[in-house]
Structure 1
């Protein structure tokens, strides 16, 4: 399958080219030339299939023309070494728990898949020079990518993160690893980190001397596999007799996660509609209300993975809907919550339902409480384990949150970050001097 750029000013790319480049030459994001609609028979029997069986079928629709079936199945099964269960929180509202992977965040799925796919293409090409993977993170992306690529031969990873704007546990998960993982602590915001990554791909000097790719959700190998757990969630909900009139609510930052859900819907997944839950960085909500996309500098919140002022994947949503604002707002609604509402939701749901939310999941839960219509069932994405946000969660619930053993091991590591300014010249010099 060929991949085109949302910028509409670059030649089509093969899957291997799209994955290796990350960003198209015209600064656009790659999109598959077609989206296969899966047959009704697949959905009729989906509740009898395993997660691996579901994901392999979905992966084949996207990548089956470019990767041999046996190898693709191996990549999928190696990626999904953990479950993504659904849990009933209260009547009509369920949580899709995406924090059971190695770094306890939803991005484990996309990061692990991309690492294995990129390693496949490197091995197939016989490439001798290393590939440098650049990734900007506001929290969980860095840890998922770093751990997904840790020790992968032929790949160096450079993680850029905003100084003082990620939790200590998140930072420890990618800044203590060493080996082929470098953490750059940028004196700026997440948007600065994202700008540095995008600028690197457009710098001729860098692209001539280094083989660069991105592991942010701008990369098709990162965001497309995230559709796997939407299908699996539907199967689980159908098994529980709760799949009719299903509304899916996604805590949204860079919008790769909800875009994967929209792709799943285009493939036939029976979802009534989507809700994008925002924190104070509500650029998408403003677009839904006005039809005008007006990015602005991000502000720090307790739901830091959603602190994005210019979501990269908005370009994909526009492209998917041919820029039709009315259709977009008819299929996606939006809600916004400030830190006080988020904290209050964590405390209330813990007290009333016995379910502990993380700050991002709290936004999703609140949006379903506010936005569900009679007869609908809501499913929100619980995107990270609440123990990763103890500083926010513990004061409002009045007790300690148990830290899973996997997180505890990270906390014992020594921070190995390199400090850097938000100036692109400094970043370029660093990459060329390595």
Structure 2
């Protein structure tokens, strides 16, 4: 698999290099030179496979023979060793694709665990690696648990202090060992800026063997393609026609993966990019101007991102496939309307959380006659227990993954959004 740097197309790397580097020169994202296409007949056969066999096959189309097929399947099985997805009916033509049945109760378990397996396989010389990642809530837990106690890997997670839910924080800030967490006194964009600055520091990058586990890493992105195929495999054939998928968007990695699934040949009619009040992309799609505002804190905190990293990949894919960007559905939803729709979903018999609720609201508004809609459930409602309980006046039962960590002490460091301080931390700890 060959990939090029979107900011410097002359920089061409293979899959292994892209995984190890994370970002290219000038903080450019890596993107496949070849976009594989699967025939309709092969798609039908692939959809009949079990999840592990199907996921291995999908990843083969991108990775090629760079990793032996037997080894790739073994790593996929180790990464996806949990019940992958469920589809729950919400109304006659709208279902929820639940992606939160992994160990940290969020869709990010797919990408983080596959990346951990790729790093483990590719690090044959047992080099010491530092994984530096920013999180707006769920990435931190998924990455921390995926790499927990992994030999020669140190993980450092930056997150905005006081701007993620209590249970999100408990999931990854109570592990210790090779997992270090830093609460930054700022926004997620501040955290992301610090990560990018670290990758621009050549000396730091070399001394710490720096990598990132954000969705900027190609291994995470490719892994997420797999559950879109799983969704089609689970759906009755009659509901696969005119399928519309609404995706809660923060860094836009989830949407990018869905679009890559469509590019492969998966029959998805269209997507809806659903955001909260941090609406850089909806405004851009409306007026053509890229003007990120200051990040606003919302009840859908994992989407509190004003400068989404993966948007250049979305634009590149539309350009390469000659798709019309104007056909991408989009919209933003305020906290007030999110709360109303959380209550509406509850009346329909489905307990959701703010992020999925935003995707549901926009899907409900934009779905047309004879279309069938899926909105992505990206995290378990219990991860936002206080918010959901307050809105719905109920007491959500905590799953074991949260219950066993709820009373553990936080082990986080505190830091101002100061790059020199972070640099010292990376070099000393």
CA deviation string 1:32-67 (max 9, x = no partner)? 111211121222234432111221110111123211
Q: Secondary structure at the match of 2:266?
A: coil
Answer whether contact 1:95 1:379 (CA < 8 A) is retained: yes
Q: Which residue of 1 aligns with 2:77?
A: 77
Q: Which residue of 1 aligns with 2:147?
A: 149
Q: Does residue 422 in structure 1 map to residue 420 in structure 2? A: no
Q: Which residue of 1 aligns with 2:220?
A: 222
Matches within 5 A, 1:79-118: 79-81=79-81, 82-118=83-119
The alpha-carbon deviation at position 347 of structure 1 amounts to 1.2
Answer whether contact 2:8 2:25 (CA < 8 A) is retained: no
Q: Which residue of 2 aligns with 1:337?
A: 333
Q: Does residue 310 in structure 1 map to residue 281 in structure 2? A: no
Select the residue among 271, 278, 282 that pairs with 1:281. 278
CA deviation string 1:318-339 (max 9, x = no partner)? 2112399981122x11011111
Matches within 5 A, 1:292-371: 292-322=289-319, 327-330=324-327, 332-351=328-347, 353-371=348-366
CA deviation string 1:252-308 (max 9, x = no partner)? 000000000000000001000000111001111011111222222211100011000
Answer whether contact 1:10 1:26 (CA < 8 A) is retained: no
Answer whether contact 2:98 2:376 (CA < 8 A) is retained: yes
Q: Which residue of 1 aligns with 2:261?
A: 264
Call closer, same or farther: CA 1:139–1:357 in 2, change over 3 Å: same
The alpha-carbon deviation at position 77 of structure 1 amounts to 1.2
Answer whether contact 1:84 1:99 (CA < 8 A) is retained: yes
Unaligned runs of 5+ in 2: none
Q: Which moved more, 1:214-223 or 1:58-67?
A: 58-67
Count of aligned pairs between the two proteins: 428
Select the residue among 372, 376, 379 that pairs with 1:381. 376
**TM-score, normalization by structure 2:** 0.97
The alpha-carbon deviation at position 30 of structure 1 amounts to 0.5
**Structure 1 CA distance, aligned partners of 2:119 and 2:323?**
37
The alpha-carbon deviation at position 10 of structure 1 amounts to 4.8
Q: Which moved more, 1:7-16 or 1:337-346?
A: 7-16
Q: Does residue 50 in structure 1 map to residue 50 in structure 2? A: yes
Q: Which residue of 2 aligns with 1:179?
A: 177
Q: Which moved more, 1:204-213 or 1:95-104?
A: 204-213
**Structure 1 CA distance, aligned partners of 2:183 and 2:374?**
35
Select the residue among 388, 398, 408 that pairs with 2:393. 398
Q: Secondary structure at the match of 1:12?
A: strand
Q: Which residue of 2 aligns with 1:412?
A: 407
**Structure 1 CA distance, aligned partners of 2:213 and 2:194?**
14
Q: Which residue of 1 aligns with 2:199?
A: 201
**Structure 2 CA distance, aligned partners of 1:261 and 1:63?**
18
Q: Secondary structure at the match of 2:13?
A: coil
**Aligned-residue RMSD, C-alpha:** 1.4
Q: Secondary structure at the match of 2:25?
A: coil
Q: Secondary structure at the match of 1:415?
A: coil
Q: Which residue of 2 aligns with 1:139?
A: 137
CA deviation string 1:152-208 (max 9, x = no partner)? 112110000000000010001111000110001101100000000011010122023
Unaligned runs of 5+ in 1: none
Q: Which moved more, 1:381-390 or 1:34-43?
A: 34-43
